[in-house]
Amino acid sequence: MTQPIPLPLDAWHRAHGGRMVAFAGYALPVHYAPEGALAARCRGGVLAEHLHCRAAAALFDVSHMGQAILAGPGAATALEALVTGDIAGLAPGRQRYTLLTNEAGGIIDDLMVAALAPDRLLLVVNAANKAGDFSHIAAALPDRITLSPLADRALLALQGPRAAAALARFCAAAVALPFQGIGRFPLLGTEALIARSGYTGEDGFELSIPAAAAVTVADALLAEPEVAPAGLGARDSLRLEAGLCLHGADIDAATDVITAGLAWTIGKRRRATWDFPGGARLRDLLRTGPARRRVGLRPEGRAPVRAGAPILDPSGQAVGIVTSGLHSPSLGAPIAMGYVPAALAAPGTAVALGLRGTPVPARVTSLPFIPHRYA
Amino acid sequence: MPSPDIRYSRDHEWVRLDGDIATVGITDHAQEALGDLVFVELPAIDRVVEAGEACAVVESVKAASDVFAPLAGKVVETNQAVVDDPAVINGDAEGEGWLFRLEIDDPATLDALMDADAYAAFLSESEA
């Protein structure tokens, strides 16, 4: 077994009581057991960290994610050959969520693409797919356009309704960013690429900074009274409450964009030509309607229903599968996401979920479970 | 701290024997590793279990973990307090957070389990 790779904040996490686990080959805190003044602010653990993010602000280390610069004449157009989104139409200072697709319209990965300047894009991809994504993109690039992974940068996410107040004390200009805005700012003696975005459903910021500055920035943000550290556990429960997909769980290369309910990522201009991998198939699927759809699920009772559980129709037949499921800290009840036949996808539809061999009644619900509160 | 009259399994359960009644729970190490518990499912009264049989489930926000019967016996009592509030286990795993009581077949089988020192050594080995 290979040892998980430590990230720039490894010692920082451990010093703050981070319970480290291996995730996508990296060592990261699943939650914290803080002591002293920090424990008084947020006692730590997935539940408290999650609720602190919804109530105030949480600081996540997401340095495992893959960051890269795609640069050169026509970089946006070159990337459009691989993704669903309108990239050429991104004004400098704006970013969007998009999907790398395969020829079947399946989702190779989901990623953020930011226009930093004309012909200069920042890509942020999932840690587990980093190597594959970067070689897939590099292989498709014409001469003079280059993909340069930013291996020496950390990525922090400051999320929650008080995130802007905390960040404003160090970088007032960044707090003027609109949702999905991005810019380069001086921050605590370093330079930061700051985007107003995140993976929690809350207002917040993602800060790409030189690895050498990570401890300074993390220390400064954590010194603010609103901010508590939060780990991967809370990151997962927050994103599921927000109805956001986790690649490798809810979406993957075998799941097409339309079935996944992500047709909204296909830019208006891209729908005129469907000129990206799997485009023609996705155009047809959108027209005919997919056979299955991704839905939210609310099991009755208190038992969490986990990924892999079968979804049963009213006759008890297994017709779908849960792809994410956990106890929602905000709702105090189980929530899940999964795929059902289109005929069962309407909110309110009664289904059952197989839990250790026993069917648990559940309702199909719309997503998100907790309304988004973006800036 | 682990007390000497308690025995431990390699699956991180503890057992306290009073006559032929064994009280079973998960260890403090286990609750710490699992994090905040949010759901507990306990065996039915009168269920007969084999040693090593999965007979309860404790769940954190993210994951479900089986609890195994450390000894063979019959379930005679379960702790409703931890079903109502699983956080009781996080607060006092080896006391108030007990899960169920077994009327055990053979008290001598307890000797197969670890004492506190052996369990502590087992934990430091698995962390090494």
Please give the DSSP secondary-structure letter assigned to residue B107: G
User: What is the distance between the alpha carbons of residues A104 and A144, in angstroms, rounded to a whole number?
Assistant: 29
Model confidence over A278-325: pLDDT tens digits? 999 999 999 999 999 999 999 999 999 999 999 999 999 999 999 999
Instruction: Name which of B23, B19, B70 is nearest B49 in CA terms.
Output: B70
Residue B105 confidence (pLDDT)? 87
Q: Which domain holds residue B65?
A: 6-105+112-127
Residue B128 confidence (pLDDT)? 57
Give the CATH number, domain containing residue B47: 2.40.50.100
Is residue B57 one of the residues assigned to a domain?
yes
Is residue B1 one of the residues assigned to a domain?
no
Mutate to test the interface with A, among B29, B32, B36, B57 (most CBs of A within 10 A): B36
Mutate to test the interface with A, among B32, B34, B38 (most CBs of A within 10 A): B38
Please answer yes or no on whether B62 and A19 come within 8 Å at the CB atom: no
Query: Is the four-CA dihedral A106, A110, A111, A115 of positive or negative sign?
Result: positive
Query: What is the domain count for chain B?
Result: 1
Residue with tokens 């016996």: B73
Smallest Cα distance from B61 to chain A, Å = 5
Contact A152/A211 with Cβ under 8 angstroms?
A: yes
- 3-state SS assignment for residue A309: coil
Is residue B45 one of the residues assigned to a domain?
yes
Q: Count of residues for chain A?
A: 375
| Lookup: tokens for B97 | 């957070």
Contact A230/A52 with Cβ under 8 angstroms?
A: yes
Residue B3 confidence (pLDDT)? 53
pLDDT at B127 over 80: no
Is residue B44 one of the residues assigned to a domain?
yes
- 3-state SS assignment for residue B41: strand
Please answer yes or no on whether A327 and B63 come within 8 Å at the CB atom: no
Residue with tokens 């943000």: A221
Low-confidence ranges of chain A (pLDDT < 50): none
A-B Cβ pairs (cutoff 8 Å, strict): 45
Instruction: Name which of A310, A278, A212, A294 is nearest A245 in CA terms.
Output: A294
Model confidence over A31-66: pLDDT tens digits? 999 999 999 999 999 999 999 999 999 999 999 999
Residue B62 confidence (pLDDT)? 81
Mutate to test the interface with B, among A302, A328, A355 (most CBs of B within 10 A): A302
| B positions 3-32 inside 8 Å of A (CB) | 32
Is residue B121 one of the residues assigned to a domain?
yes
Burial of A247 (0-12, 13-18, 19+ CB in 10 A): buried
User: What is the distance between the alpha carbons of residues A262 and A105, in angstroms, rounded to a whole number?
Assistant: 11
pLDDT at B1 over 50: no
| B positions 30-89 inside 8 Å of A (CB) | 32, 35-36, 38-39, 41, 57, 59-64
pLDDT at B104 over 60: yes
Please answer yes or no on whether A303 and B63 come within 8 Å at the CB atom: no
Contact B30/B90 with Cβ under 8 angstroms?
A: no
Position A248: which residue type?
G
A311 vs B: CB within 8 A: no
Smallest Cα distance from B62 to chain A, Å = 6
User: What is the distance between the alpha carbons of residues A175 and A185, in angstroms, rounded to a whole number?
Assistant: 11
Which domains does chain A possess? 1-290 (3.30.1360.120), 292-375 (2.40.30.110)
| A positions 249-288 inside 8 Å of B (CB) | none
* Chain B residues inside the 8 Å CB shell of A303: 39, 41, 59
